[in-house]
Amino acid sequence: GAGVSQSPSNKVTEKGKDVELRCDPISGHTALYWYRQRLGQGLEFLIYFQGNSAPDKSGLPSDRFSAERTGESVSTLTIQRTQQEDSAVYLCASSLDQVFSENEKLFFGSGTQLSVL
Amino acid sequence: KQEVTQIPAALSVPEGENLVLNCSFTDSAIYNLQWFRQDPGKGLTSLLLIQSSQREQTSGRLNASLDKSSGRSTLYIAASQPGDSATYLCAVRSDSTSGTYKYIFGTGTRLKVLA
């Protein structure tokens, strides 16, 4: 596609429910990142994919959070038993990740605004 | 642990002024640094990427410099325009010795250019 696409753009859920957030990276981009941005705060790293594997999961805040990527394309971030503190904008980014190249620029989606009531 | 700080947190300038945004990082073992702009309700747009071996990058009215040894980068915006109003973020990726691949973001500088 022309850019990174995230869906849904907005999600309102009740505490305790599970949610799935989807990211469609730019075609051919091997690297994919998930970040979280709470209101008025900076970007918080969650997980990094290289192809379909995740060599860096160090930012996942608890075992309620998981992510997968298939076909070196679409990624899904799943949050189980949502809590109010999970409310945030979840941002996905992708890049070609070619070493020492302008192609390492990150391209971000517009994000999913998650509200847990 | 890498920490990224941006100063000032907010800046308001009249149109036409040249301005400098600052970014500092605590660990000089970086792989690259990117500057982004974030508009309300939208994702981030990458403006400039500087590799660890480079000193600066330019794109139009934007110039970013990198002094890795002192842990600093600056984003220079020439002849500012109201359309430049946004939050500017810098992000640092550590080199391979860190065992991590993530970009660490600063909290940003909120810029307002007055017409």
Q: Is A106 on the interface with B (CB under 8 A)?
A: yes
Best of A6, A43, A108 to mutate (most B CBs within 10 Å, chain B): A43
What burial class does residue B55 get, using C-beta atoms within 10 Å of its C-beta: 0-12 exposed, 13-18 middle, 19+ buried? Answer: exposed
Contact B103 A45 (CB under 8 A): yes
Judge if the upstream peptide bond of residue A61 is cis by omega within 30 degrees of 0. Answer: no
Residues in chain A with CB shorter than 8 Å from the CB of B46 are 105-108
For chain A, what is the mean pLDDT?
92
Average pLDDT score over residue span B18-29:
94
* Residue of chain A minimizing CA distance to B40: A110
**Closest to A93 (Cα-Cα) out of A58, A43, A39:** A43
**What confidence tier does B43 reach under pLDDT thresholds 50, 70, 90?**
confident
Which among A35, A41, A105 has CB closest to B49?
Answer: A105
Report how far residue B23's alpha carbon sits from residue B66's, in angstroms, rounded to the nearest whole number.
Answer: 9
Q: How many CA atoms lie within 13 A of A74 on its CB side?
A: 6
pLDDT of B71 above 70: yes
Contact A93 B104 (CB under 8 A): no
Contact A44, A86 (CB under 8 A): no
Spatial neighbors of B9 by CB under 8 A, at least 6 apart, are B107, B108, B109, B110
Q: Which of A19-33, A66-80, A88-102, B42-56 has the lowest mean pLDDT?
A: A88-102
Q: Is B102 on the interface with A (CB under 8 A)?
A: yes
Identify the residue whose tokens are 């009249």.
B14
pLDDT digits (tens, 9 = 90+) for A49-75: 999 999 899 999 999 999 999 988 999
Average pLDDT score over residue span A16-41:
95
Q: Is A91 on the interface with B (CB under 8 A)?
A: yes
Size of interface A-B (CB pairs under 8 A): 56
Q: What percent of chain B has pLDDT over 70?
A: 97
Q: Which of B:17-36 have CB within 8 Å of A?
A: 32, 34, 36
For residue A56, give how far its alpha carbon lies from the nearest alpha carbon of chain B (Å): 6
Q: What percent of chain A has pLDDT over 90?
A: 80
Q: Which of B:35-74 have CB within 8 Å of A?
A: 36, 41-46, 49, 51, 53
Q: What are phi and psi of A109, to 5 degrees?
A: -80, 175
